[in-house]
Amino acid sequence: MVPTLFGRIQTRLFLLATVGLVVTALIVPVLPGTGGAGLADLYQTGLVVLASVAVLGVVWEFVYHFLMQFRWEKDWPTMFGLLTLINEGLLLWALLELDAVPGIAVSPPAAAFWTHFLVVWLVVWLVANGPMRVPFIRWRFRGGRLV
């Protein structure tokens, strides 16, 4: 079954709140270019970036849903789901550079942001396209909805 709009939103938020949170907790202390910052500040920035990915991701899902209406099967190929990291990452990076993300006083270094963003994105994408199907057997058949 093709994932529905609300199924994709639920899956995105669930995976970011579980897998994304665990990956963020593990990777933040070793991010490049953050040597002088305190650990609490690093975690705050990492969690705000993760929350921003979630909030902007919900908005992006509506854009993607609109664009999918022009496709015959009304869905993205799996590779498109991976490549959406480009536009979502660039938008969030631009917002960080413009100081438009509340909760972050100073934009993180580029190496730290991109490392964090790419690792979280890849792990979440891999879980969504693989292990997610094991504990949530009926997830695929309910249009990606978890609730």
Which sequence spans correspond to the domains of the chain? 5-30+37-142
Query: Pick from 122, 62, 117: which is nearest to 91 by CA?
Result: 117
Q: How far apart are CA 10 and CA 128, in angstroms?
A: 12
pLDDT score at 34: 80
pTM for the complete prediction? Answer: 0.91
Over its length of 147 residues, how does the chain's per-residue pLDDT go in tens digits?
567 889 889 999 999 999 999 999 999 999 998 877 788 999 999 999 999 999 999 999 999 999 988 988 877 888 888 999 999 999 999 999 999 999 987 889 999 999 999 999 999 999 998 888 888 877 777 777 777
pLDDT score at 83: 93
pLDDT score at 145: 76
pLDDT score at 75: 78
63: three-class secondary structure by DSSP: helix
First to last CA, the chain: 16
pLDDT score at 7: 87
pLDDT score at 2: 65
